[in-house]
A and B are shown apart, each in its own frame.
Chain A
């Protein structure tokens, strides 16, 4: 056995005798390093890792912006003919695909599911080199204007909808009255780029020709939420390409909108964005903040562990002195420390890898809709290199710290002096520096956590503008083999509504979708006001607003006649009403969205807040019950109908009707608030860990400091100092470090604010000042407690205990 193997064995044996020390180091470092590995891997995947597509760096999204006369960007949408013109005439991309995503009802199955449909040209498949497990991709036969109704399913859709049946290629899917033959299934490992709604994966790809805007071939004045993705082959710079294609596209657009007066002076601008930055979106700052937070934790933990190592080395001084006396050289002692560090760091990394793996699972389940590329998270070569780097650097660092604590020259003389006045000591400056860093990092982390916690709690407990208590959303499905006629389905649903309304438990019933359900997005060309805005639209019946208790601000809600006649009436939310009539009542205003379509506003209702909603969008409610299979039921207090009875009631109207989904709005809301609850819980936990680590760290430093001052404390007490005098003295000694720590944290926070002003503004308000003061006071108070605790062993015992060994 060579010397280092022997030292590793000795280190393991020695550590086995100090389980408390090992536990503290391994858990503290393991948890924080695990968090670091997790966030580091996330950052690598999001910011650095190439996209899993061939020549991914050359894939760009081309954006079209409409610029108002005053230079402001009005929107970033194409017009349908503009998009087709660019697609057909562009020369800079070898492959360019038209793309549009929507949610369509699959009408040839019993449950009429809504599926995310992607309308694309064949280049979509070659551009991303989409692997297929069955069948083929779209080919020339599905190119623009071919009108060939075929479909490619995602692997998950194949599994969920067709139970993974091998004969899926003989089957078809039906959307909007068109039957599409299934020609292929993508491979399971295909990772779809998050281009539109993050976390949503396309279920079925259909040829571009079948998109819902296909009739807009000449609508140069109307914008649509579509896009173009292509592989760049041009040798010109991005700037040069933009400057070249912008005037070309602008010219053709201007020629075609010359007669639209409100577009006078408007221009088009073309912008190229790398696919990676499109996918990353605004998540860069989030990941930087996560990295900063976790690095802060690692710093606190490192400071704590450094202190533990220093204390341990101080304890081992006598043993080390004996080793030195019998011939151990400096490098031998260093190897002893290194062996111990390595054993500890290997154990730490086992914990860290376990924590990181758990972290990946948590991130995948909770942040898939918040952060891009979450589904690519796993341990990769870079993570493993990071693990190795952590192992080497922390082992080296703690070895370095240890060897600094016991200077070799002093060791050899310490035996001769029996250790009098020659104990291993860390300078006061280092101790104070550790306190400053602990306080600063803990204050910053606590403050940031506090703000995120405050924000999350605010969203959890805010007034959403409608009632959710005792209200259930019911989604029915037809389970028969043959799809029923639309008329039959409508009549069946009407019978169900009537039947349910008769039940004694039911207070009110509405043939409408849940207020928590998704609204349709509608870019409105308001031809009366000559303005454009995006509204979120939903069809509701006459009982909807009464049932959910959404406040009516002015005008009226829909009547039964409105529903029956499908009148062109709108009820708008307060935000849209204020936009349309800033100084008056919006009721009575007409909105013309096209020459054929004019809507009259008959009522204004309060704004509602859906979970995870940013800002206050414009909302439009139209009369109707398009939701088809969806109902809202309000039960009387403390009453509900169980699913089994509900099924019986449904089957009174048709044996084939089943309960597809039945949930209380409260539980849907709770599920939708998962990320807020996760944020609240995780920030609270992180804050507690931070607080715990900081207090342990400061306690450790002060405990060590107290040990080194033991004789001084004993002497002071011998000449008359009381316990409180000693406590006050130690507190006074640390007030400057504490104050410096708070000051440093304030300066760092201000720097962070200047770097990430936009992100911080979302979380910060005037109350944040009080939060900072509260955080500082809390840290200071706990630090003061941490000052007191280590002194108890001296001040609560006869003085002789402190003075023992001083002679």
Chain B
């Protein structure tokens, strides 16, 4: 039986203004198991990124309960949430969000610097190199992000997401800022990672890349349109 990594029970999110209340998410129920490769898709404004932010503990839900590896993380404090993000979640952003002033090495090493275990320099170095090798960029270790192409920057971001050995990678429109060739390369890396056992949950509105996932979740107006469709691995 597969182990549930992420479990969302009736997750809702609404925003209040003076005049109206907007429901960005309505009673989302979703479970992502160990080794899953889930693609969340839907039109603009359907709540994909909001859902991913809640799953990544970047935002808090207005209702419902959320579990990571069976632990209720719905009402964590900001610091507790930071610890969980650091240890359990690897986040990959559409615009890479690398820090320009840091080298590739330091960007990738950053999650380990904030890690509760405070790994020593040798461990950090070993782990960073391993991750950069996985994304094929170990030769760019000393470069600054602005010396890399968009695709390379996204691969560095993937390495950074992997470095703390998270339970799941949350990927938000990873190809949105890339040309098709670079996008293909990034998707290839993600595919390889999943095949190696990494759990991935990806938001995308590109059907071509959504099809690469084994599970597809369609969102519309803040609700799951249909039950997750599971693709049988070929």
Instruction: Output the nearest chain A residue to B84 by Cβ-Cβ distance.
Output: A720
Residues of A within 8 A of B59 (CB): 798-800
Instruction: Give A701-743 as 1s and 0s: 1 = Cβ < 8 Å from B's Cβ atoms.
Output: 0000000000110111111111101000000000000000000
Given contact pairs A420-B95, A711-B97, A723 touches B111 in the complex (Cβ within 8 A): no
Given contact pairs A711-B97, A800-B53, A719 touches B172 in the complex (Cβ within 8 A): no
CB A708 to nearest CB in B, in angstroms, measures: 11
Q: Which of B85-93, B127-135, B182-190 contacts A (4 or more CB under 8 A)?
A: B85-93
Given contact pairs A725-B114, A807-B173, A718 touches B56 in the complex (Cβ within 8 A): yes
Residues of A within 8 A of B49 (CB): 807
Residues of A within 8 A of B160 (CB): 719
Residues of B within 8 A of A420 (CB): 95
State the total of A-B contacts with C-beta under 8 angstroms.
76
Chain A 55-89 residues near chain B, CB threshold 8 A: none
Residues of A within 8 A of B95 (CB): 420-421, 806-807
Residues of A within 8 A of B91 (CB): 718-719
CB A447 to nearest CB in B, in angstroms, measures: 34
Of the residues B83, B99, B173, contact of A715 by C-beta under 8 Å: B99
B70 contacts partner chain A, Cβ-Cβ < 8 Å: no
Instruction: Give B57-89 as 1s and 0s: 1 = Cβ < 8 Å from A's Cβ atoms.
Output: 111100000000000000000110011011100
CB A22 to nearest CB in B, in angstroms, measures: 27
**A720 contacts B176, CB within 8 Å?**
no
Q: How far is the CA of A799 from the CA of B59 in the complex (A)?
A: 6
Of the residues A712, A720, A798, contact of B164 by C-beta under 8 Å: A720
**B173 contacts A717, CB within 8 Å?**
no
Residues of B within 8 A of A807 (CB): 49, 93-95, 172-173, 176
Residues of A within 8 A of B93 (CB): 715, 718, 803, 806-807
Instruction: Give B95-134 as 1s and 0s: 1 = Cβ < 8 Å from A's Cβ atoms.
Output: 1011100000000001100110000000000000000000
Instruction: Output the nearest chain A residue to B157 by Cβ-Cβ distance.
Output: A715
Instruction: Output the nearest chain B residue to A720 by Cβ-Cβ distance.
Output: B86
A796 contacts partner chain B, Cβ-Cβ < 8 Å: yes
Interface centre among B53, B56, B83, B87 (most CB of A within 10 A): B53
CB B24 to nearest CB in A, in angstroms, measures: 11
Q: How far is the CA of A718 from the CA of B56 in the complex (A)?
A: 8
A795 contacts partner chain B, Cβ-Cβ < 8 Å: yes
Instruction: Output the nearest chain B residue to A715 by Cβ-Cβ distance.
Output: B97
Q: How far is the CA of A799 from the CA of B164 in the complex (A)?
A: 19
CB A796 to nearest CB in B, in angstroms, measures: 7
Chain B 197-222 residues near chain A, CB threshold 8 A: none
Of the residues B53, B97, B114, contact of A721 by C-beta under 8 Å: B114
Chain A 748-807 residues near chain B, CB threshold 8 A: 795-796, 798-800, 803, 806-807
Of the residues A421, A719, A722, A795, contact of B110 by C-beta under 8 Å: A719
CB B130 to nearest CB in A, in angstroms, measures: 17
Residues of A within 8 A of B99 (CB): 712, 715-716
Residues of A within 8 A of B97 (CB): 711, 714-715, 718, 803, 806
Instruction: Output the nearest chain B residue to A798 by Cβ-Cβ distance.
Output: B59
Q: How far is the CA of A725 from the CA of B60 in the complex (A)?
A: 21
Q: How far is the CA of A720 from the CA of B111 in the complex (A)?
A: 6
CB B183 to nearest CB in A, in angstroms, measures: 16
Interface centre among B49, B57, B58, B111 (most CB of A within 10 A): B58
Q: How far is the CA of A720 from the CA of B86 in the complex (A)?
A: 4
**A799 contacts B87, CB within 8 Å?**
no
Residues of B within 8 A of A719 (CB): 85-86, 91, 110-111, 114, 160-161, 164
Residues of B within 8 A of A806 (CB): 93, 95, 97
Of the residues A714, A718, A720, contact of B115 by C-beta under 8 Å: A720
Instruction: Output the nearest chain A residue to B85 by Cβ-Cβ distance.
Output: A720
Residues of A within 8 A of B53 (CB): 800
Q: How far is the CA of A714 from the CA of B172 in the complex (A)?
A: 15
Residues of B within 8 A of A714 (CB): 97
Q: How far is the CA of A720 from the CA of B161 in the complex (A)?
A: 11
Q: How far is the CA of A264 from the CA of B23 in the complex (A)?
A: 107
Question: A: which residues have CB within 8 A of B?
Answer: 420-421, 711-712, 714-723, 725, 795-796, 798-800, 803, 806-807
Q: Which 6 A-B pairs give the minimum distances between C-beta atoms?
A: A720-B86, A800-B59, A715-B97, A720-B114, A799-B58, A722-B82
Name 11 A/B residue pairs within 8 A (Cβ), A-sorted: A718-B91, A718-B97, A719-B114, A719-B161, A719-B164, A720-B87, A721-B86, A723-B78, A800-B59, A807-B93, A807-B172
Given A725-B114, A798-B58, output 20 extra A-B contacts at Cβ < 8 Å: A421-B95, A712-B99, A714-B97, A716-B99, A717-B85, A719-B91, A719-B161, A720-B86, A720-B115, A721-B82, A722-B82, A722-B114, A723-B78, A798-B60, A799-B58, A803-B58, A803-B93, A807-B49, A807-B94, A807-B176
